[in-house]
Amino acid sequence: MPTLLTRIVKFGCGALALASASLFSAAVVAQPASHPFYVATRGETAGAPGTIIRIARMVTSPPGAIAYRVLYRSRGMRNEPIAASGVIIVPIAAAPPDGRKVVAWAHPTSGVVPHCAPSLAFFLYNQIHGLDEMIARGFVVVATDYPGLGTPGPHPYLVGTSEGRSVLDSVRAARQIPGVGAVRDFTVWGHSQGGQAALFTGMLARSYAPDLTLRGVAAAAPATDLLALLQDDSGTVGGNNLAAMALWSWTRVYGAPLGGVVEPDAMPTVDALANVCIESIQDILLRGVIGRPLTRSFLADPKFYQSQPWRQLLITNSPGTLPGRVPVFIAQGLSDETVRSAVTFKYMRRLCRAGSPVALAVLPNAGHAFIARDTAAQAVDWMARRFANLLPRNDCGRVPGIVQAKLTSGANP
């Protein structure tokens, strides 16, 4: 009989990985969604992206650092002024003479409504993989919530441009805090949805934030080809959960019609799932129970992704290659049943052909939930080398051999 841990991992909403750190801790408790810190007036959102609306010291901070909750200005899906929230973590140790480098953490799926913001979670620091090492190396760590999490929703779930802008503006916000000493050099490190956000950050950095200098993009099991991933996960419990969140969000932020896509009797379940965060073991199990009816009745059109506007939205939010040969670190588990390794390797080959040097970390027995945790040390070391202007490792030639070994073993790539 599978253990509780096995059932949780096999539930497989890889984006459920945000809760992975909580497997060995108490449940995460969120503050109410109406917390006044997160609500900004139209007048307050007016201003340059990345400037701070308000800031407050967090009640608790990770060892060796001081953490701040921050509300900052950004740009929405239609380039309109918005507020975004997050946490900025600053080492206590004195800043080096040349200032502090910045690492932007892009979180995996936490939910699609405001109270699911990671900055509201008591155990946020456990969920930023590699945080202790980043603090020890003197990096400022910024962790955006993404728009619509913390701030009024809905959250544009898996909408790459929205995520990327909020990441870039969080780096700008860190540079606004007096005495922090954050420089313009930064890297971005993300997992699953956050891997997609990290890649979109790389795509947007040069045009959206020319005042910043991107040194590299690190992504663990990133959501790349959304169309392929949706097809791969179709009909599974985890796949139904992810699809339900995406459909719920996109019909609200894009106005895409759900008529003929979702069975009417499934809508109460979809609505219920949209209001449950992914922050603890209890949440994961609860989502499994709430989402169980979707195994009987969910999609009126199981191939809705072949119809417009859904197909184009999936393509639009699938990251492309990065400009300027930006170096990339990719981590992938060969046992990942949510973000299949074949999809990640295909995307890596695109990056290689476009000229990006790609460092690859592959764990043969790793699934989706723990890949960022288990490769965090490698990712942080890679980012430190990027900040030191050392030649990036390039594993582009290894991809065919890795895929062949996977196929030879008889496992599904």
Q: Would you give per-residue pLDDT tens digits along the chain (413 residues)?
A: 333 223 223 333 333 333 333 222 222 333 444 589 999 999 999 999 999 999 999 999 999 999 999 999 999 999 999 999 999 999 999 999 999 999 999 999 999 999 999 999 978 999 999 999 999 999 999 999 999 999 999 999 999 999 999 999 999 999 999 999 999 999 999 999 999 999 999 999 999 999 999 999 999 999 999 999 999 888 888 889 899 999 999 999 999 999 899 999 999 999 999 999 988 667 777 888 898 899 889 999 999 999 999 999 999 999 999 998 999 999 999 999 999 999 999 999 999 999 999 999 999 999 998 999 999 999 999 999 999 999 999 999 876 565 555 544 444 33
Q: Which residues of 270-298 are buried (b: 16+ CB within 10 A; e: fewer)?
A: beebbebbbbbbebbebbbebbebbeeeb
Q: Which helix (H) or strand (E) holds 133?
A: helix 131-136
Per the CB < 8 A criterion, the answer to whether 325 and 355 are in contact is: yes
For the record, the structure tokens of 154 come out as 């809905």
Q: pTM for the whole thing? A: 0.90
Q: Give me the phi and psi of 327, to 5 degrees please.
A: -65, 145
What is the reported pLDDT for 146? 99
What is the reported pLDDT for 31? 40
- Domain 9-226+315-408's class? alpha beta
3-state secondary structure of 235: coil
Pairing of strands 358-363, 328-333: parallel
Q: Domain map of the chain by residue range?
A: 9-226+315-408
What is the reported pLDDT for 392? 94
Tell me which residue of 388, 377, 379 sits closest to 101, measured CA to CA.
388
* d(C-alpha 189, C-alpha 383), whole Å: 9
What is the reported pLDDT for 28? 32
